[in-house]
Amino acid sequence: MEEIVLFVISFIIIYFIYSTFVIKRKKKYNPNKVPMEIKFLIQKYKLDMDKINYIELVDRVSLWISFDMALSISLVGFIKNVYFQILLGVSLLFVLVFLSYSYIGKIYKKRGLIKDV
């Protein structure tokens, strides 16, 4: 039960901080001031920003990143050794973020919101 509470609390705190200070400062799409996460998705999956609602994309990315970080924090809490916690936390976070970005990109690709090349 403590792990679930830790997950929920860390998810809420991370989502609030991430969406407030990192993502939400950009209210509308400006190609010169796009956050790195969004820029990566646009370049890798060739997203067409004329077809995509920018705020929806930003919210989706911030939700997934917050989920990834909260899940990493929760899973690392089971390990007692600090060095293994750091090693597992960083590696797990990289894997989860990569999977999340690929999932988000495939969703937009499936909806046909990519550039016709």
Q: Are 7 and 23 in contact (CB under 8 A)?
A: no
Q: Is 24 a residue whose pLDDT tops 70?
A: no
**What is the pLDDT at residue 117?**
59
pLDDT tier for residue 11 given thresholds of 50, 70 and 90: very high
**What is the pLDDT at residue 13?**
94
Q: At what angle do helices 54-76 and 36-45 cross, to 10 degrees?
A: 110
Every domain of the chain and the residues it spans: 2-23+31-110
Q: What is the pLDDT of residues 46-87, one digit of tens each?
A: 888 888 888 888 888 889 999 999 999 999 988 899 999 999
**What is the pLDDT at residue 2?**
83
Q: Across the chain, what does the average pLDDT equal?
A: 86
- Cβ contacts of residue 42 below 8 Å, gap of 6+? 34, 49
Q: Span 4-27, mean pLDDT? A: 83
**Residue 24 structure tokens:** 């939400």
Q: Is 113 a residue whose pLDDT tops 70?
A: yes
Q: Is 43 a residue whose pLDDT tops 70?
A: yes
